[in-house]
Amino acid sequence: MIPPFDPGHDPEEAHDHDMDNVISFHDDLDPATAEAMARAYHQEVDVETAARHLWMLHRAGRARAGSRREDRGGGHGRVIRQVAVSVLVGLMLVSSSGAAVAASRSSLPGDVLYPVKRGAEQAQLILTVDPRAQEQLQLEIARTRLDELRRVVEVRPEAVPRLVADTLAAIEVAGTASSGAESLIAEAEAEIADLAPDLAAAPAEEASSSALSAAAVPPGSPSPAPSPVPSASPTPSTTPVPTPVPAPTPADTPAPTPADTPAPPPADTPAPPPADTPAPPPGPSPPAADGGAVVPPESVTVQNPPSPGGDVPPITVTPLAPPTTAPPASAPASSEVPKPNVAPRTDAPGSAAPAPPGWGPARGLRSTGAEDSPKSS
Amino acid sequence: MRGNDGGQRLSLFSEEVADGVRAGDPDAVGTVYVTLADRLLGYLMARVPDRATAEDLLEATFVELLQNGRSIRGGAAAIKVWLFRAAHFNALDHLRKVKRQAEDFYDDMTHVDREDPALGPDDLALVDDVVRQVRAAMLHLSEDQRQVLLLRYVGGLTAPEAATVLGKTDGAVRSLQHRGERTLARLLGDDGAAPSAVPRTSQAKGG
């Protein structure tokens, strides 16, 4: 069969299931015999068989759970989750050996196999129990996202916005999980700013604005601190958790021409829930900015009537401006803090899908949960 | 066994997974499967004649683990031993059943309950001489020696673990192992001995 995925386990954590290891572990074995026996009897469970067996196990488990459901309430959802996990495990198995999924390793968003890749990552996460290994894995996943981002920019720009969000989300998860994420984060910032300057601004804004919303932004006050700045190279979330972020141009579209003034981080916010990573909706953002919302002075590229078609590049990231309900950040008059953070889904009635359909957010990424994006009052 | 006294690393799967197994959690059992299925399959295939049977027994063994996991005392290592013990008895049961059925039809099917060095058609392509010789030589060992060698070399168990599976003492297992190793080495080193066992089965199954 397949060596159990083994992401970054340190040696002592390694599974000793292949013959070589076994032999080295037991010094009272005779090497010659070991070799002969390994050749004669070593077997591997093939993927289909493993998948079948795992499926059977889960069916058996479900049956058991079902018979006991009365005693423990809520067992049902758990069982369902387990089944999902079993499927993931199957995928995982496939992914560590199957040619098909070797292919998925290099897949990009939009590819048929991409969900397989993401599924395998999730399965790895779920099955990785050791916390350190998990951190490693989360770092790896974040790095993978970043790598995908680099590649996808050229071939499939329309996938970039979502991927930027995913990347940031993954990095954030990795950042909260492990301490070694700083370099990655820095790298990611640079990359994102570099590859997709326009996008870089957007997600940063989102992050920042979400952070800001947590921080006290005087209601009604124009824009938070450095109002005018949309920042070309905003330092998106630098620090793992609380992201002191640059001034948001909470407004709308991925400003094609992001102003170049770097945004001084508005007082770093206490601790915005790490959760609210931006999750820009796939589609073009609703032109939103409600009527009069004046967005920070220069910053804004596309003002209120930005129709996705207009000068807006096909890649619209920032869903920030909720259609009508919430005025974009810094909306002058609006009574309350702009909470464009996780934005679109909560407020925009039918607008954006909560999460990118096919690809789940990284586990632990409780970010997108509705609770994070306070429906703007 | 819990007897992984210091020196040996038995980080098969975490104790957390072991807890899950004892709680009857299919996820945990799945993790154990991923970790140990290869070795168990190797062991089972050495015990029963064909791969399909071995796979069925493998599945049955893990389903038993799911159902009876709570009865296991001990951690990851104990679960591993439990699995091999279950596989051992499952294989025995199967062989007895097959033998019984066979006796209903044939007068003489004594070879049915023996490890059959011949391979199914699927495997024939893969067979090299060494494989055939080793399997044939194994038939010259005593049943106990064979069991010990399989558990230790194919199953990857320690001597105390193998002793637990087989219900023998440590010392008995070690001496069986050493005698088995010596016999095997002699047979494999001596070109005359091992091949003698080959013709019967390979020809029988050839068609």
Would you call B63 and A44 a contact, using CB atoms and an 8 Å cutoff?
no
Q: For residues B80 and B170, what is the distance between their CA atoms, to the nearest angstrom?
A: 17
Tell me whether residues B26 and A60 touch, CB distance under 8 A. Answer: yes
| Residue in B30, B35, B42 nearest the CB of A43 | B42
User: Which pLDDT belongs to residue B200?
Assistant: 41
Is A63 an 8 Å CB contact of chain B?
no
DSSP 3-state of B41: helix
* Interchain CB contact of A14 with B (< 8 Å): yes
Contacting residues of B for A44, CB less than 8 Å apart: 38, 41
From A308's Cα to the closest Cα of chain B, the distance in A is 46
What per-residue confidence (pLDDT) applies to A68? 58
Backbone angles phi, psi at A173, to 5 degrees: -60, -45
Determine the pLDDT at residue B107. Answer: 56
pLDDT of A67: 66
Residues of B in contact with A35 (CB under 8 A): none
Whether residues B42 and A42 touch (CB distance < 8 A) is answered with yes
d(CA A221, CA A223): 6
Answer whether A28 sits within 8 Å of B154, measured CB to CB.
no
Q: Do B134 and A54 touch (CB under 8 A)?
A: no
Nearest to B117 by CA among A38, A44, A40: A40
CA distance B104 to chain A (A): 31
DSSP sequence for A231-285: -SS---S-SSSS---PPP--SSS--SS---SPPPPPS--S---TT------SSPP
A111 DSSP assignment = S
What pLDDT score does A287 carry?
Answer: 40
Q: Residue ranges of chain A with pLDDT lower than 50?
A: 1-25, 70-75, 95, 97, 200-377
Instruction: Kindly determine whether residue B66 and residue A26, on different chains, have CB atoms separated by under 8 Å.
Output: no
At residue A171, what is the residue type? I
Among A53, A81, A94, pick the best mutation site for testing chain B contact (most B Cβ within 10 A): A53
Q: Which DSSP string corresponds to A131-160?
A: HHHHHHHHHHHHHHHHHHHHHHHHH-GGGH
Write out residues in chain B with pLDDT < 70, as ranges.
Answer: 1-11, 105-128, 190-207
- Closest residue, chain A, to B177 (C-alpha): A29
Query: Which among B26, B138, B149 is the nearest to A58, CB-wise?
Result: B26
DSSP string, A91-103: HHHHHHH-HHHHH
pLDDT digits (tens, 9 = 90+) for B164-176: 999 999 999 999 9
Predicted ipTM of the assembly: 0.73
Q: What residues of A are in contact with residue B39 (Cβ under 8 Å)?
A: 17, 22
